[in-house]
């Protein structure tokens, strides 16, 4: 997968219309302007920045169709991995450890796991696969954390939470769980909002108490909740 090759302003200009008011409001803030300047400067200096499609999650999952939110941290920082969806990698790429544990949990819950590592099919069903930090430099995990993307993540989550539609939030790990108060504060339909928490699926934490990822049953619980309010997600697609 290629690296970022266009200015961030152009990336933001290409946001789908349904997300544009949220993104446009954020991009006027000082922190957004600082983020844009930083990423563009790093690319101009020769840094390899991933992914090429920074806002692919928004392109595949319209705001009015979000049924599930999965919050990651920052994109994969190796060549050919990040492609704009949290936890997802292009088909044919070696399965990262966290995604392997996600698939193992699906195997435990449903008797089989997806055959594709590209989770675009989830995104097209309304699963917003959103990283908190949306760019990263090659070989340098969290290199763009704290540079300003977090403000956009917060704005996107507020917009999702404020809708009247049912939504499940899968908050895996302490990083994602920091957003729970924001979700609760902006929930437009509290009775149709479900927050599920556990450790991160990383092998470093997946089995640790008190909330291990392994055996958390989140995918089945999500479908039970959504099925009672419309339609469940085909996690095996």
Active site residues: 74
Q: 193-206 burial, b if ≥16 CB within 10 A, otherwise e?
A: bbbbbbbbbeeebb
Q: In whole angstroms, what is the distance from residue 84 CA to residue 153 CA?
A: 14
The answer to whether 29 and 19 are in contact (CB under 8 A) is: no
Separation of alpha carbons 74 and 24, rounded Å: 22
Helix axes 149-162, 20-27, angle to 10 degrees: 140
CA distance 61 to 14: 14
Nearest to 167 by CA among 179, 155, 178, 157: 157
Is residue 13 within 8 A of residue 20, CB to CB? The reply is: no
What's the token pair of residue 65?
């169709």
Nearest in space to 66 (alpha carbons), one of 18, 20, 3 = 18
């Amino acid at each position: 997968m290629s690296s970022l090759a266009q200015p961030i302003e152009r990336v933001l200009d290409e946001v789908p219309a349904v997300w544009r008011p949220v993104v446009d409001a954020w991009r006027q803030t000082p922190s957004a302007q600082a983020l844009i300047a930083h990423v563009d400067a790093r690319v101009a200096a020769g840094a390899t920045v991933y992914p090429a499609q920074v806002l692919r999650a928004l392109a595949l999952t319209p705001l009015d169709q979000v049924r599930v939110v999965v919050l990651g941290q920052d994109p994969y920082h190796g060549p050919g991995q990040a492609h704009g969806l949290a936890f997802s990698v292009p088909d044919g790429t070696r399965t990262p450890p966290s995604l392997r544990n996600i698939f193992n949990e699906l195997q435990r819950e449903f008797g089989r796991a997806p055959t594709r590592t590209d989770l675009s099919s989830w995104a097209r069903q309304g699963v917003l696969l959103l990283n908190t930090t949306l760019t990263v430099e090659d070989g340098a995990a969290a290199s763009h954390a704290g540079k300003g993307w977090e403000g956009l993540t917060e704005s996107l989550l507020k917009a999702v939470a404020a809708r009247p539609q049912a939504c499940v939030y899968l908050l895996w790990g302490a990083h994602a769980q920091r957003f729970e108060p924001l979700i609760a504060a902006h929930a437009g339909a509290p009775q149709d909002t479900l927050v599920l928490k556990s450790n991160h699926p990383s092998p470093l934490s997946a089995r640790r108490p008190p909330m291990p990822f392994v055996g958390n049953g989140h995918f089945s619980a999500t479908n039970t909740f959504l099925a009672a309010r419309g339609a469940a997600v085909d996690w095996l697609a």
